[in-house]
Structure 1
Amino acid sequence: MIMKATKSKTSPKKITESDSTKLKELFVDGLKDIYWAEKNLAKALTKMAKNTTSEELKAAFEQHTTETEEHAARVEEIFGLIGEKAQAKKCAAMEGLIEEANEILSSTDKGTMVRDCGLIMAAQKVEHYEMASYGTLRNIARTLGHNDVADMLQLTLDQEGETDHKLTELAEAYVNEEASVE
Structure 2
Amino acid sequence: MTGTALLLGTTGMLSAAARHAAGLAEKSVIVSRNAGSFSFGDEVLDAKCIALPISYEDEPALLAALEEHAPFDLALTWIRPRAELLRAALDALVAPGGTLIEVMGSRSILAGKNGEPSIASIRAEALAHQPDISYAQVVLGFVHENGASRWLNHEEISAAAIAQMEMPLPRRIAGTLEPWDARPQ
TM-score (norm 1): 0.25
The structure that has the greater radius of gyration is 1
TM-score (norm 2): 0.24
Choose between structure 1 and 2: higher helix proportion: 1
Choose between structure 1 and 2: higher strand proportion: 2
* Structure having greater relative contact order (Cα 8 Å, sep ≥ 6): 1
